[in-house]
Structure 1
Amino acid sequence: MPLGTLDRTPPPFFKQGPSALSKLMVCSALALFLMVADARFRIAQPLRAVVATVLYPVQWVAMRPVVAARFVATYFESLEAAQASEAAARRKLALQSLRANQVEQLEAENQRLRKLLELRGRVATRATAAEVLYDAADPYTRKVIIDRGLAQGIEAGSPVVDEYGVLGQVTRVHPLVSEVTLVIDREQAMPVLNARTGARSVAYGDPSGKGGALELRFMAGNADVQVGDLLTTSGVDGVYPPGLPVAKVLHVERRAESGFARIECAPQAMVTGARHVMVLAPLGMQMPERPAAEEAAAPKKGARK
């Protein structure tokens, strides 16, 4: 056999190369280099985009069962919610229709009684529509910012209401925006009237700082207050027009060791999610001016003889 035809390569048993540890270190260094380079220079971004594009059809096919299941579940949930909303809207419409049928008769009776008693007619309240922009930055108060200010004729002290009841009161006015203090703020107080009994009281914001509730203070322990009573504005403060819904009594605690009851109320307005509101002109601004007090004539002292 010629010597040129012999295989001169060593057998596999005698082959030597880099060790496994060396290969691990080289691969680790290369991986670390690629991670740093990708984080700093985004060198793998084109490759990542290509891979994502190639794999998108596979992902789309794999997600179809999940999307279909979600669609079916959302469909039935939306259907139930829509049916419940329709039923609630029908009930509300029926109630409003019943009240609307009684409005004309009540208005006519009211006018006759006022003419009979020679009472002044009710003051028409001027209203301005506004939108809530955001909550105030102070975490220790409950205030919101609306998109109406001095340029739109907003005045400090104006009541703010939504479709459910009294939301708060304008406490600071800027040229284009205004700050509204909500009824649940701990510094807020409002004269209210119990629609069931006609008793007057004062509702204060939640003193615990948690927000979301009101409290009737200085009510006697034997006061006629029940859970579910509706509290409305009394109109005696010259700010809020009378008859606006404020809150409903949520809990009554009659304590034997104290002469006063602890009464917790839930606000009627959407104090945590109001979007569109109405700013009413303060009632005192529309009332007729008080007659000037006549100066009492001082008695003249008689001259001594």
Structure 2
Amino acid sequence: MPLGTLDRTPPPFFKQGPSALSKLAVFSALALLLMVADARFRFTQPLRTAVAAVLFPIQWMAMRPVLGVRFASDYFTSLHEAQTAEEAARRKLILQAQRANQVEQLTTENVQLRKLLALRDRLNAPAQAAEVLYDAADPYTRKIIIDKGSAQGVEAGSPVIDESGVLGQVTRAHMMISEVTLVTDREQAIPVLNTRTGSRGVAYGDAGAHGSGGLELRYMAANADVQAGDLLTTSGVDGVYPPGIPVAKVEKVERRADSAFARISCAPAALVDGARHVMVLKPLTAQLPPRPAAEDPGPTPKRGSMRK
């Protein structure tokens, strides 16, 4: 067989083709060209839309198990939270019902005892709602301005409360607005009663400049029975605040060996920094009987007048 008739080309299995670097360069240039062309002319947008339309049912079916598991997890989580909240609400409702029954019973006993002892009825202060307009401009005082004034019957000395407790006292009443000094102001003092021990005291404002501050229960003996967590309410002995309104809660008690008095820091019960709607009460002074006038002892006898 002649040698010229033999096929000298290598079999397909051994063909190398272009090098890998050449392929990388060609495909990179093609990809860059397609990206630039798509960014400029958006010719692949119809193709992309068609592919998305074809794949949407598959994607929808593939996401059903994931969404089902997620929905079931959210359902059981929400169910557990709802059951927990319902249980807490039921406990709170039962506790409130128990307290309401106790309060009703105590009120009835109180009325009976007052009638038995011929004591006067408790004083009830008329009230009217007001809204806080803004804080006073003086940074060294703790005062707010409300939208009720003397035209609405507000007078200086009227107590001001919110939903949590005593907020302050009206110190200046204008025609349409009034100035309220908060309980945390350094110039404010309020007689209080410790509901746990029944002991009386006076709470003073302890706010610094630009700060909400708190209150300080002063002039209490170092060995006084005062503990952190004690609730202080109005005592009602000043003739201004009705008794029993929360004022503050004791936060810290410092008993110092070098002082006869304890340093007692308290947190106000009212929202002194966030109150928006308040109640202005009438002072109890108008409902109290007038104080007896001091009796005139008469002229002092002279030393010589007793001699005979």
* Fold conserved between structures, TM > 0.5: yes
After superposition, what is the alpha-carbon deviation per residue over 1:50-71, rounded to whole angstroms, capped at 9, x for unaligned? xxxxxxxxxxxxxxxxxxxxxx
Bigger CA radius of gyration: 2
> Which residue of the partner structure matches residue 282 of structure 2?
281
Distance 1:291 1:223, change over 3 A: closer
> Which residue of the partner structure matches residue 125 of structure 1?
125
Quote how far apart the aligned CAs of 1:274 are. Answer: 0.7
> Which residue of the partner structure matches residue 192 of structure 1?
192
Secondary structure, counterpart of 1:104 in structure 2: helix
Secondary structure, counterpart of 2:262 in structure 1: strand
Given that 1:167 and 1:182 are in contact with CA atoms closer than 8 Å, whether structure 2 keeps it comes out as yes
Quote how far apart the aligned CAs of 1:211 are. Answer: 2.6
Given that 1:170 and 1:179 are in contact with CA atoms closer than 8 Å, whether structure 2 keeps it comes out as yes
| Separation in 2, partners of 1:246, 1:253 | 20
Distance 1:268 1:90, change over 3 A: farther
Secondary structure, counterpart of 2:112 in structure 1: helix
For these two proteins, the number of residue pairs brought into alignment is 228
Given that 1:212 and 1:271 are in contact with CA atoms closer than 8 Å, whether structure 2 keeps it comes out as no
Quote how far apart the aligned CAs of 1:95 are. Answer: 3.6
TM-score by structure 1 length? 0.67
| Separation in 1, partners of 2:90, 2:283 | 34
Secondary structure, counterpart of 1:219 in structure 2: coil
Quote how far apart the aligned CAs of 1:112 are. Answer: 1.2
Structure 2: tracts of 5 or more residues without a match: 1-73
> Which residue of the partner structure matches residue 162 of structure 1?
162
> Which residue of the partner structure matches residue 271 of structure 1?
272
> Which residue of the partner structure matches residue 36 of structure 2?
none
TM-score by structure 2 length? 0.66
Quote how far apart the aligned CAs of 1:107 are. Answer: 1.7
Distance 1:275 1:303, change over 3 A: closer
> Which residue of the partner structure matches residue 18 of structure 1?
none
| Separation in 1, partners of 2:306, 2:257 | 65
| Separation in 2, partners of 1:85, 1:212 | 34
Q: How does 1:86-235 map to 2 (within 5 A)?
A: 92-206=92-206, 208-209=208-209, 210-235=211-236
Quote how far apart the aligned CAs of 1:195 are. Answer: 0.6
Matching residue's letter, 1:189: A
Q: How does 1:27-38 map to 2 (within 5 A)?
A: none
Moved more, 119-128 or 292-301: 292-301
Quote how far apart the aligned CAs of 1:154 are. Answer: 0.4
| Separation in 2, partners of 1:95, 1:243 | 20
> Which residue of the partner structure matches residue 252 of structure 1?
253
